[in-house]
């Protein structure tokens, strides 16, 4: 990779982890956003999806002060606001970086019951070239890693881990070739009954395989962003960890497996509540800032939008209140990125 391209990618990546800012994951597929809209009794039409995302992107305080980038879905990157302005332009005008989800979803891994591999590499080079023309400057690819239930250790298999990390590396190399910063997202799911130590073990193993694959694919780490899970117990575990333990073990896991050349790590929320995701991020940045060579921030979907969606309910009359809810949640996570959040600040909403 030539120095000019590396500098361009590194500059974008550093913008995405600017102090006090993080990424809005607004890349829900049509099926996923339908489920979100079903929860508020709203039909998932193209106009309703556009109106909701326009509401987010026009929340000036949040977008300009606390949102560094927005991950879009294929439909959204092509849409225009009600006044005809491309949604990508709204994001750019707020000083945020437009991004795009490019994977085609997790499919069953042959002969590995219960395990998935993410697909979408076929034709990816051409799709990335088009997305760059549409304004995307970063992309996202999600790998899904599940952990066996009941203490069984068959999942994840080594085959599942290597298949997914190899796909992430191929995707990342294609992104950089097309002047797009790849977000690599190896998500260890928190749906099971595993404890935090099992999550640590699987997360560390997966990350070490990932960075070996990225090296072999000649991906420049300075032009990448990592989007991982926090090291956390499964939701069905009867042994839940404290915020302090989550923070300490997550930072320790990353120090053992994520190279210092990576500009930043942006967490997925993975089913945590809004406040849990904020508090855990804050504890890491408050207590371990001097131990981390990379910026630690957020790339939340539900943990940025749950209150906003519940407030909006598809009613234009609720738009301002919904924007206030979004601005507050973005502000809380912006503070957490600097380790400056306190529980008392939640009452400002």
pLDDT in tens, the chain (349 residues): 899 999 999 999 999 999 999 999 999 999 999 999 999 999 999 999 999 999 999 999 999 999 999 999 999 999 999 999 999 999 999 999 999 999 999 999 999 999 999 999 999 999 999 999 999 999 999 999 999 999 899 999 999 999 999 999 999 999 999 999 999 999 999 999 999 999 999 999 999 999 999 999 999 999 999 999 999 999 999 999 999 999 999 999 999 999 999 999 999 999 899 999 999 999 999 999 999 999 999 999 999 999 999 999 999 999 999 999 999 999 999 999 999 999 889 876 5
Instruction: Report if pTM > 0.85.
Output: yes
d(CA 139, CA 186): 14
DSSP H/E element including 182: strand 181-188
Sequence-distant (6+) residues with CB within 8 A of 265 are 17, 225, 226, 227, 228, 254, 258, 294, 295, 296, 297
Q: Which residues are catalytic?
A: 185, 227
C-beta of residue 91 within 8 angstroms of C-beta of residue 70? yes
pLDDT at 332: 97
Domains of the chain (ranges plus CATH)? 3-348 (3.20.20.70)
State both tokens at 296. Answer: 């630690």
Alpha carbons 130 and 70: distance in angstroms, whole number: 18
């Amino acid at each position: 990779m030539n120095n000019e391209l590396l500098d361009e990618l590194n500059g974008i990546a550093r913008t995405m982890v600017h102090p006090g800012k993080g990424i809005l994951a607004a890349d829900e597929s049509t099926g996923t956003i339908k489920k979100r809209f079903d929860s508020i009794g709203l039909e998932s039409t193209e106009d309703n999806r556009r109106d909701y995302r326009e509401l987010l992107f026009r929340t000036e305080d949040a977008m300009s002060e606390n949102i560094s980038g927005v991950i879009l879905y294929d439909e959204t990157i092509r849409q225009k606001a009600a006044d005809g302005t491309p949604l990508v332009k709204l994001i750019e005008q707020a000083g945020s970086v437009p991004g795009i989800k490019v994977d085609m979803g997790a499919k069953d891994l042959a002969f590995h019951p219960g395990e998935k591999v993410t697909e979408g590499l076929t034709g990816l080079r051409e799709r990335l070239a088009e997305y760059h023309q549409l304004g995307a400057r970063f992309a996202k690819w999600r790998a899904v890693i599940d952990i066996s239930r009941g203490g069984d250790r068959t999942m994840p298999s080594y085959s599942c881990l290597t298949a997914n990390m190899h796909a992430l590396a191929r995707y990342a190399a294609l992104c950089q070739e097309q002047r797009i910063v790849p977000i690599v997202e190896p998500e260890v799911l928190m749906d099971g009954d595993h404890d935090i130590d099992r999550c640590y073990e699987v997360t560390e193993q997966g990350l070490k395989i990932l960075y070996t694959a990225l090296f072999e694919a000649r991906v420049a780490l300075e032009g990448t962003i990592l989007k991982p899970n926090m090291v956390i117990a499964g939701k069905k575990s009867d042994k839940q960890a404290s915020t302090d333990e989550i923070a300490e073990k997550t930072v320790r896991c990353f120090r053992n497996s994520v190279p210092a050349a990576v500009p930043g790590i942006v967490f997925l929320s993975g089913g945590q509540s809004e406040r849990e995701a904020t508090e855990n991020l804050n504890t890491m940045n408050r207590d371990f800032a001097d131990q981390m060579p990379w910026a630690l921030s957020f790339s939340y979907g539900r943990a940025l939008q749950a209150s906003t969606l519940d407030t909006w309910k598809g009613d234009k009359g609720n738009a301002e209140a919904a924007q206030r809810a979004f601005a507050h949640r973005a502000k809380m996570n912006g503070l957490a990125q600097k380790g400056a959040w306190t529980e008392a600040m939640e009452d400002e909403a």
